[in-house]
């Protein structure tokens, strides 16, 4: 179990790094979107390539951040029901969900996504829009994103089993008692106070 926990930490570190990179992709997509809108309104010109880059970045954000999101237990859950159960029961439910639902679904999507990517790569598929981009890079995000999600699912499974054996603290305990929305509101309030202090 010690070696498995070491592997879990490596997977967590990988998805943490990918998640930090994805944060910059969000900023890039917003800047490209705003720039494209301004150029279109002010100069009356537009580019399908810039529109497609936005779409590629949106796809990258959602697919590549899935493992990062799972690492922080921020996926949609049934906490309203499971909150009444003991920590052991909640972890057993997670083990069941990871093994029976997540891992087979991830494997299927990664396999189908790989064949989709390979077909586009071999054929050199290009967008049908005038000035559009090649398609295989965005298709490559499908197996890559599901691969990262699958790795994080394995890491979470290891942590749940280690908890059930009494080796680690409960991985389902949130780092903060606040919800994601409350954390965001607190962050925005602090930023507003910093801005007001200047």
Instruction: Report pLDDT for 44.
Output: 85
* 8 Å CB contact between 167 and 5: yes
* 8 Å CB contact between 148 and 64: yes
Which residues form the domain of 158?
2-197
Residue 86, by phi and psi: left (phi above 0), alpha (psi -120 to 50) or beta?
A: beta
Instruction: Report pLDDT for 177.
Output: 61
Instruction: Report pLDDT for 77.
Output: 72
Q: Mean pLDDT by 10-residue block, N- to C-terminus, for the chain (198 residues)?
A: 92 94 90 89 84 90 94 78 86 94 96 93 86 88 96 96 92 70 74 72
Instruction: Report pLDDT for 95.
Output: 95
Q: What is the DSSP letter of 47?
A: -
Instruction: Report pLDDT for 197.
Output: 61
Domains held by the chain: number:
1
Instruction: Report pLDDT for 19.
Output: 92
3-state SS class at 134: strand
For 70, half-sphere exposure in the C-beta direction (CA atoms, 13 angstrom radius) is: 32
Partners of 126 in beta bridges: 134
Instruction: Report pLDDT for 46.
Output: 79
- DSSP class per residue in 13-38: HHHHHHHHHHHHHHHHHHHHHHHHHH
């Amino acid at each position: 179990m010690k070696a498995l926990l070491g592997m879990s930490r490596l997977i967590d570190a990988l998805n943490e790094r990918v998640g930090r990179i994805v944060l910059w992709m969000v900023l890039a997509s917003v800047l490209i979107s705003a720039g494209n809108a301004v150029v279109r309104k002010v100069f009356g010109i537009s580019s399908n390539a810039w529109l497609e880059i936005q779409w590629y970045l949106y796809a990258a954000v959602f697919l590549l951040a899935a493992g990062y999101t799972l690492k922080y237990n921020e996926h949609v859950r049934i906490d309203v029901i499971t909150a009444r159960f003991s920590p052991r029961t909640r972890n057993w439910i997670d083990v069941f969900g990871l093994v029976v639902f997540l891992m087979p679904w991830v494997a299927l999507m990664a396999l189908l996504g790989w064949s989709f990517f390979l077909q586009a790569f071999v054929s050199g598929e290009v967008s049908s829009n005038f000035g559009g981009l090649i398609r295989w890079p965005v298709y490559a995000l499908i197996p890559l994103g599901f691969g990262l999600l699958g790795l994080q699912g394995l890491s979470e499974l290891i942590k749940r089993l280690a908890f059930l054996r009494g080796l680690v603290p409960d991985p389902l305990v949130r780092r903060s008692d606040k919800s994601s929305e409350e954390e965001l509101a607190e962050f925005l309030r602090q930023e507003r106070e910093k801005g007001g202090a200047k």
